[in-house]
Chains A and B, each alone.
Chain A
Amino acid sequence: MTDPGGKFRFKPLFIDGIHVAYGKAGVLSDVSMEILPGRITCLLGANGAGKSTLIRAVLGLTPPRQGSIAFDGMDITGAPTHAIVGKGIACIPEGRRIFPKMSAQENLLMGAFQERSKELIRARLEKVYGLFPRLAERRAQLAGTMSGGEQAMVSIGRGLMSAPKLLIIDEPSLGLSPALVNENFRIIRRICEEGTAVFLVEQNVRQTLAIAHYGYVLSQGRVVAGGLPAELKENEQVRKAYFG
C-alpha cells in the first residue's frame, strides 16, 4: 500500500477492557477493540447496545471507569476531549450536530479549530468544497437554515477539516434519502482511500459490511463478535439481529 502522506504510520486505537457507566447503571463492560490505520472498521449493534457510549468514551466525553484507551502510542484514558482531538481523532457525531447560527463556512472552520496554519486551513476548505460543490455555493448561508442533506455535507466536511488520522462516523445515514446514503458510503470509502482510518457506526448493515475491512458487534454492552465482514455475515448473532 502506498503511503504518500505518512498517515498510515500511526499506531492503532487500542480500546482495552473498558467499563463505562452512567451513575450506577453499567453501559459497557469489558469492551476491547483495535481500530487499525488504513482501514474502515465498523461497529454494529442494535439501539441501546452501547455504541454511542463507546464513542463518548473514546472522545473523553464519558471517561471509562476501568480499562484503558490508547491512540497512536499514547494513553488517552481520561484525557480531556480537546487533548484527544489534538492527537488526531475527529468525529462526525450522530445527528450531525452542526452549529445552526454559524454559516456553512464557519462550521467548516470549527472543524479545523486546533489548526493554526492559515494556508493549511485554506487548502482543506478548498478540498471540502471540491468534494461538496454545493457547500461552496452556499458557504455564507446559516447552517441551521440548510436542508438535511446539506447539513449532512456540512457535518462530514467539518469532520474532514482537521485532516484527522482517525475519523469516527456515527450513524451517517440516519434520516437521509437512499441516494444520499449511497453517496455517503462512496465518500466514506474515499476518505479511507486517502489515508484516514475510519471507525464507522452504522445501522445499515449490508452496505456497511460491503465497504468495511473489519467489524465488531456490540450487544448489551459487550463485544459479542469481531471479524472480517465475510465472517460477520455468517455469524449467528449478527444473522439473528440483522438478517432475520
Chain B
Amino acid sequence: MDLLLQYCLNGLMLGMMYALVAVGFTLFFGVLDVIVFSHGDTVMIGSFAGLATYWWLHSTYPGLPAGWAVLLVLLAAAATVALLGIIVADAMIVPLRKGPALNTLLATMMLGTVLRESIRLFFPDGSNPQTFPALLPGWSWRGGNLILRFDNLVLFCGGALIIFLVHMIINRTRLGMAIRAVAQDEEAARIMGVNFRFVVLATFALGSAVAAFAGVMNGMYYSEINFSVGLLLGAIGFSAAVIGGLGNIYGAILGGFIFAFLQTIGAVAIPFASAYKDVFAFGAVILIMAWRPTGLIAEPSSQRV
C-alpha cells in the first residue's frame, strides 16, 4: 500500500513536469498552428541555464540562503529560455510561415539538434551527465515505507502556481485575450487592432519560461541532467498535448498527468523491468489517439486555447 502511494506521489510530480512542457506545445500550436519540435530541448536549455546560474551564485555568493538560490536559479533559467524562445520565433518560425507547414516541422527538429549539440560541445564537460545540485534542504517526512521529500513538495506547489499563473494570464489579462483571439481567428484579431507579431513573441516567451521551470524541476527531481534529456521530455510533452487536444491548455495539463499516470501503471504492472514503463505509456498514447483523434477534451471542431 505504501509502495503504491509512493508511486502515485512520484507520478504526480512527473505529471506536473510533463504538464508544464505540454502547455508550451499547445500554446504555440494555438497561436501559430505549428508544432515546435525543439521545445523539449528548450526544457533542457532551461536546466543547463539553471545549473550555470547555480555555479555562478555558488562561487560568487557562497552563503546564499536556499530559498534565494532557488528563486534566482528559476528566474535566470526562465529569462534565458524566454529570450531564446523570442529569438527562435522571430527569426525562424514566423518567417517560415510563408512556406509549407512541414518546413517549420523540419526546421524546429533541426534546431533541437543544434541546441543539444551546442550544449554537448560548448558547455563545460557537456557530453557527460551533470550533477544538479539539491537547491533545497533535504528534509523529508517518513511514514512506514512512504517518503515525502520536502523539495518535491515545494516543486509540485511551484508547478501548480505556474499553471495557475498561466491560467490567469490567458483568461484575465489583455495579453491573454489577444492570445485567445489570435488562436481563434488570426485575421479577425489583427482587424481588431491586435499586434500579431507582439502576441506571437509574448506567447513564445511565456511557453518557454514555463518550460524552463520544468527543466529546473527535472534537474532537481533526478539530481542529474544531460544534454539529451530534452528528446524524451519533448516527445512526452508533445504526446500529452495531443492527448488533451492540441491548442487546449487544460487538455495539455490533463494530458501531462495522464501520461505520468500511464508510466506509473507501467512501472507497477511490470515491476521486473521498469524501463518498459515508457513503452507501455507511449503504446497507450497511440491507443488513445486512435480512440479520440482530436484529443480527450477537444470538441469536434478542434478547440483552441
Chain B interface category by residue count: 20 to 34
Could you tell me if B188 and A97 are in contact, using CB atoms closer than 8 angstroms? yes
A97's partner among B177, B187, B196 (CB-CB below 8 A) is: B187
The closest CB in chain B to the CB of A100 belongs to: B184
Does chain A have a CB within 8 A of B181? yes
Query: Are A99 and B180 interface neighbours, CB within 8 A?
Result: yes
Q: Does A93 contact B (CB under 8 A)?
A: yes
B181 contacts A93, CB within 8 Å?
A: no
Pairwise interchain contact B185-A99, C-beta atoms closer than 8 A: yes
A85 within 8 A of B: yes
Mask, A98-118, CB within 8 Å of B = 1, is 111110001001110110000
Per the bound structure, the CA–CA distance linking A86 and B305 in Å amounts to: 26
Using known A-B contacts A101-B180, A101-B304, determine if residue A110 contacts B187 with beta carbons closer than 8 Å. Answer: no
Asked if B189 contacts A110 (CB within 8 A), the reply is yes
Most buried by B among A93, A100, A113, A158: A113
B190 touches A82 (CB 8 A): yes
How many residues from A make CB contacts under 8 Å with B? 24
In the assembled complex, which residues on chain A have CB atoms less than 8 Å from the CB atom of B187? Answer: 61, 93, 97
Name the A residues within 8 Å of B180 (CB-CB). 99, 101-102
Say yes or no: is A91 at the interface (Cβ < 8 Å to chain B): yes
Contact with A along B258-295 (1 / 0, CB 8 A): 00000000000000000000000000000000000000
- Complex interface: chain A residues within 8 A of B184 (CB): 99-102
Among residues 171 to 200 in chain B, which have CB atoms less than 8 Å away from a CB atom of chain A?
Answer: 174, 177-178, 180-181, 184-185, 187-197
On whether A82 and B181 interact (CB within 8 A), knowing A93-B188, A97-B187, A97-B188, the answer reads: no
Question: Closest CB-CB distance, A160 to chain B, in whole Å?
Answer: 12
Q: Residues on B close to A: CB < 8 A?
A: 174, 177-178, 180-181, 184-185, 187-197, 303-305
Residues of A within 8 A of B (CB): 59, 61, 80-82, 85-86, 90-91, 93, 97-102, 106, 109-111, 113-114, 158, 162
Q: Which 6 A-B pairs have the closest CB atoms?
A: A85-B193, A97-B188, A114-B193, A81-B190, A82-B195, A99-B184
